[in-house]
Amino acid sequence: MTGTGYARLSDDQAHSTFRALRWHETGGEPVCPACGCVACYEYRTRQLFKCKGCGKQFSVTSGTTFHGRKLPMRDYLMALAIFAINPKYMQILWTDPLGRIMIAIGLVSMAFGAMIIRKIVAFKG
């Protein structure tokens, strides 16, 4: 499946695909991010899991960089799909000189953004 194929998935399909990608070692079965327990209850309606070991609730994005973001699941999958399914799309970033410049600009703007955020937080605090 291509990156554009993922863009047309419903949120439910996106969720189960994300599950399969995140917990591919267990065949899509949830693994507790807190204690690593594989025995979990599943609340299908809320797309939440509860660990039988430590009782913590978690979602498919808990403990990942995607957790707490407001973007729909599909957008994460797009990024994951491009990276995981076809790394060649990303490869141009470090094989092409222009790509390296893009990475550099990206890193600089990320650092700059982090600095600004820290200043805003500092002013408010």
Buried b (16+ CB within 10 A) or exposed e, 46-72: ebbbebeeeeeebbbbbeeebeeeeee
Rounded CA separation 113/106 (Å): 10
Among 54, 108, 114, 117, binds Zn ion (CB under 5 A): 54
What is the nearest approach in angstroms of Zn ion to the Cβ of residue 40? 8
Examine residue 31 and tell whether it contacts Zn ion (CB under 5 A): no
Among 13, 23, 28, 37, binds Zn ion (CB under 5 A): 37
User: Residues 28, 38: contact at Cβ < 8 Å?
Assistant: no
Among 32, 60, 73, 78, binds Zn ion (CB under 5 A): 32
Examine residue 53 and tell whether it contacts Zn ion (CB under 5 A): yes
Pick the stretch among 15-23, 52-60, 68-76, 92-100 that binds Zn ion (CB under 5 A).
52-60
Sequence-distant (6+) residues with CB within 8 A of 78 are 3, 6, 7
Q: Which residues bind Zn ion (CB under 5 A)?
A: 32, 34-35, 37, 51, 53-54
